[in-house]
Amino acid sequence: MALKTHQDWLDARQNLTIRAQALIDGKFVAASSGRSFASVSPVDGSTLAQVADCGQEDVDLAVAAARRAFEDGRWSKRAPAERKAVLCRLGDLVRAHRDELALLETLDMGKPIADSTSIDVRAVANCFAWYGEAIDKIYDEIAPTPSDTLALVSREPLGVVAAVVPWNFPMLMASWKVAPALAAGNSVVLKPSENSSLSALRLAELALEAGVPPGVFNVVTGWGPETGKALGLHMDVDGLFFTGSTAVGRFYMEYAARSNLKKIGLELGGKSPNIILSSYHDIRHAAETSANSAFFNQGEMCTCPSRLIVEESVHDEVVDVLLAQSKAFAPGHPLDPATRFGAMVDERHTTRVLGFVDIAQEDGATLATGGKRVCMDSGGCYLEPTIFDHVRNDMRIAQEEVFGPVLSVITVKDVDEALRVANDTPFGLASSIWTDDLSTAHRAAKELRAGLTYVNCYDCDDMTVPFGGFKESGIGRDKSLHALDKYTELKTTWIKLSK
């Protein structure tokens, strides 16, 4: 029975079974060292579980299990149609366990339960089904060579793939990597964030139930500088695909260079510009959507449109709407289905975001609303949605990724200045422009240096399109058929034909 009320979710929490050991070679195991760390809920500060703190030895075991599974072909040599059936079954199981998975996600990282159920879990199920459905419909190539030779161009799985992911969409960011990697026939070792290990473990257990053979999808839980680094430096990992901050992404490039030059993919941070021009016919709609996108998921979004670049003639109207709309994001209990804005992921991150509020004021930005920690007696981590006006693009609040509910308004004279300011950032993940002028829209779509450009919308989403960044926002793309490029090698086979 679907859970409907706040009380339903609180009751469900009492009956929740939590897996907190690593999943290696099809079995839940404690860390070899016996060490564990507390998974603390940002909802109320309670300890949810003691999670296995995996070290080098556990990473070695997981990689060895993945290697054995890859070499004996228990998954890698299965027909694509068979892998498809298993991945589609996993999608069905995710859907069938929607409430349980959503509860784990919300308790672990604080997002509203309404979002966990209707966005995260649904998207995870779709992702596995999508790559499952795709994989038996992709053909390799025969090259147009002279008639006495045959040249085949085929895609081969990489082998052992490691995936290291963040906490803002824990299961979804994992699925964007695990689903195409498994579809292509690889074995996987996943390291979730230490802030959000729980749903990854349950997902991998459901994968076993769906028919993914033991050893093919392993999960090692633990801290980045130990567990993540051990995967990054591992000599028997063929590819490492990372989603997280730009600073840590640099480490993974270095790990790859210092070890076996493993293939890497990096999905990194952003500081996305969102331009509202007076030529858009519905300024209220543009401003409302901008606030909704900036505060969605507590602003803990890589694509958060945190720099709102407004043409000066519509500045006042835009700011009025933003202030009014921010009220719809009053923090609430994440297990209340009516809540739209939940808890920040943990104490450390909450303090970091508040630090940016101080920095922005010291640099001369005007605090228009928010900026404070609230709901202190809950024991959890709650911040007000925050808007700064009169921000200059060279201020730290406009240049660095805050990864929280902090929106900066930057005023510009015209479209030329807007595009210049938009591109004046080391990042290049998402961007957007609101205008009714077709030529301006096309010009912006070409000139904005970002992997994603939205015109008259924000955060449209679908499995069919690639997702990733230019510049310091990353290397490579998740989602769509293009993601399969990451998890495969191209093999050329020449065959000399006899007369």
Angle at 397 between CA 391 and CA 403, to 5 degrees: 130
| Distance of closest approach, residue 303 Cβ to ligand NAD, in angstroms | 8
| Distance of closest approach, residue 76 Cβ to ligand NAD, in angstroms | 26
| CA–CA dist 178, 222 (Å, integer) | 18
User: Do residues 19 and 28 make contact, with C-beta atoms less than 8 angstroms apart?
Assistant: yes
The residue from 105, 194, 205, 267 that is catalytic is 267
| CA–CA dist 436, 427 (Å, integer) | 26
Q: Active site includes 267? A: yes
| Distance of closest approach, residue 481 Cβ to ligand NAD, in angstroms | 17
User: Do residues 255 and 235 make contact, with C-beta atoms less than 8 angstroms apart?
Assistant: no
Binding site for ligand NAD (CB under 6 A): 164-168, 173, 191, 193-194, 223-225, 228-229, 232, 243-245, 248, 251, 267-270, 302, 401, 403, 429, 469, 474
| CA–CA dist 260, 210 (Å, integer) | 33
Nearer to ligand NAD, 75 or 176 (CB): 176
Contacts of 345 (CB under 8 A, 6+ apart): 42, 109, 110, 167, 168, 195, 196, 300, 381
| Distance of closest approach, residue 153 Cβ to ligand NAD, in angstroms | 29
| Distance of closest approach, residue 301 Cβ to ligand NAD, in angstroms | 7
Nearer to ligand NAD, 93 or 343 (CB): 343
Nearer to ligand NAD, 37 or 223 (CB): 223
Distances (CA, A) of 390 to 308, 366, 441: 11, 6, 25
Nearer to ligand NAD, 311 or 401 (CB): 401
Q: What tokens were used for 128?
A: 């596995």
Neighbours of 247 (CB within 10 A): 11
Q: Tokens 């257990």 — which residue?
A: 205
Nearer to ligand NAD, 112 or 469 (CB): 469
DSSP state of 478: B
Nearer to ligand NAD, 31 or 88 (CB): 31
Nearer to ligand NAD, 244 or 385 (CB): 244
Q: What is the CA radius of gyration of the chain?
A: 23
| Distance of closest approach, residue 170 Cβ to ligand NAD, in angstroms | 9
CA 222 to chain centre: 18
Distances (CA, A) of 330 to 8, 108, 342, 350, 382: 22, 20, 9, 16, 10
| CA–CA dist 344, 249 (Å, integer) | 22
| CA–CA dist 99, 274 (Å, integer) | 34
For ligand NAD, the nearest residue by Cβ is: 224
| Distance of closest approach, residue 375 Cβ to ligand NAD, in angstroms | 22
Active site residues: 267
